[in-house]
Amino acid sequence: MNVTTSPIIVLKGRSFDLSSPLVMAIVNATHDSFYPSSRNATPDLLKFRIDEAVSQGADILDIGGCSTRPDASPVPEDEELDRVSLAFSLARSIAGDIPTSVDTFRASVARLAVNDFGCDIINDISAFTLDPELLPTVAQLQRPYILTHSAGIALSNDLFSPDDTPEDLFLSSVLRFFARKIDQLRSTGFNNNVIIDPGFGFSKNLRQNYFLLRNLSLLRCFNEPILVGLSRKSMIYRPLNLTPEQALNGTTALNTLALNNGANILRVHDVAEAIQIRQLYKLTLGK
């Protein structure tokens, strides 16, 4: 078992020692996310989802208004702004003391979430490639930034596409990607946490996803928090000939492996089950 000193992250003025992993609840203000049960396209559904996540013990609410499932078409900017505004308004009224994250690749949405609603984290799956204004915006806002290894949502993410890249070259390309992107962030004056997300399911085939999970601990070389988003993804349900609705057991198994390999934050649909994983994992560490 790999146990090392974990990073510290400050959210809502509180320091979180990430030797105790955090659970980030997915709050989709969308109608087309890949997992149908996670779609919360109305105020009532959003309120129910936020209430549920909070009551089950979520540490962070990750709010998004634009689906980034494979081959998704981004919603217009104004529509994403409206969806995010509604979700953040509800989150603030229900649980204003719980840290929040905004899941967006757009600078305007990040600014709205931080400036109007006090959002704590910017979660960008594009690694600031889809909106040229996002990188300077992240530097200006100085909120922890989730940096995802991804070729962007405009590309097809076929988990079974052929790829003959040797595993050592694939891994070195991932490490170089993070080193380069972190250097770009630091060169802009960004001095907050860069949260590393290996981007499971984004522009990777099945073999690459599992190779990256096995070698997740190598990402600790950056001395930053590591977030994993495995929840109900096709790398779980496709090999088992299941659907996303049937992928909870597989999600639990892989999240447990991720914690053992150095993950500090679990981004999940199923908060109660992730809390149980954390409790049992901490017992294995004698905590």
Return the closest-CA partner of residue 253 out of 69, 240, 63.
240
The structure tokens listed for 230 are 């495995």
Return the closest-CA partner of residue 213 out of 174, 254, 274, 152.
254
**How many helices (H) and strands (E) would you count in the chain?**
9, 10
- Annotated catalytic residues are 233, 267
Beta-strand (E) ranges in 65-155? 100-103, 121-124, 145-148
Cα 244 from Cα 233, distance rounded (Å): 7
Cα 76 from Cα 226, distance rounded (Å): 30
SS3 annotation, 9-75: EEECCEEEECCCCEEEEEEECCCCCCCHHHECCCHHHHHHHHHHHHHCCCCEEEEECCCCCCCCCCC
**φ/ψ of residue 44, rounded to 5:** -65, -45
